[in-house]
Amino acid sequence: MTHNIPKGKKLILFDGVCNLCNGSVNKIIKLDKKNHFLFASLQSKIGNEVIEYLNIDTQKTDSIILYTPGISYEVRSTAVLKIASNFGRMWKFFSYIFLLIPTGIRDFIYNVISKNRYKWFGKRESCMIPTPELKARFLD
């Protein structure tokens, strides 16, 4: 199941009502000069289909998933670091350094931020709607 994801692309599933997550997606779009990534909200139809296909428990992972069709998926801090590793040498270097930190420690910090993201950064009433220029980067 590829969900119409072109070969060589990776899908980032994000919390579409979270202001921090939406800001992060906008930053990724700016840094993703080679267009490695497509996006879908966790709340979207495609988001739900991918989550079901990968058998992901959204009670345990509810904020970011990096899906590489036919290869793997990553969640939490590992997803963030693997995404960042695509943005140039410095990003790649720091991503690999942080990947040396045990996942449990990285995810502890990630989970603290994730659990407080609505309180600290706010929440939208509905998922973001991409501008016409960015529409091709989002899967419905």
DSSP string, 111-140: HHHHHHHHHHH-B-SS-----TTTGGGB--
Residue 41 in any domain: the answer is yes
Computed over every residue of the chain, the mean pLDDT equals 88
Map tokens 């919390």 to a residue: 15
Q: Please state the pTM of the whole predicted model.
A: 0.88
Q: What is the pLDDT of residue 137?
A: 83
- CA 35 – CA 82 distance, rounded (Å): 15
Query: How large is the angle between the packed helices 19-31 and 103-121, nearest 10 degrees?
Result: 110
Name the domain count of the chain.
Answer: 1
- CB proximity list for 2: less than 8 A, separation 6 or greater: 69, 70
Q: Residue 67's pLDDT band (boundaries 50, 70, 90)?
A: very high
pLDDT in tens, 18-59: 888 888 999 999 999 999 999 999 888 999 899 999 998 877
Q: Is 130 among the domain residues?
A: no
pLDDT at 127: 66
Q: What is the residue range of 45's domain?
A: 11-125
Copy the structure tokens of residue 93: 């270097």
In a domain, 138, yes or no: no
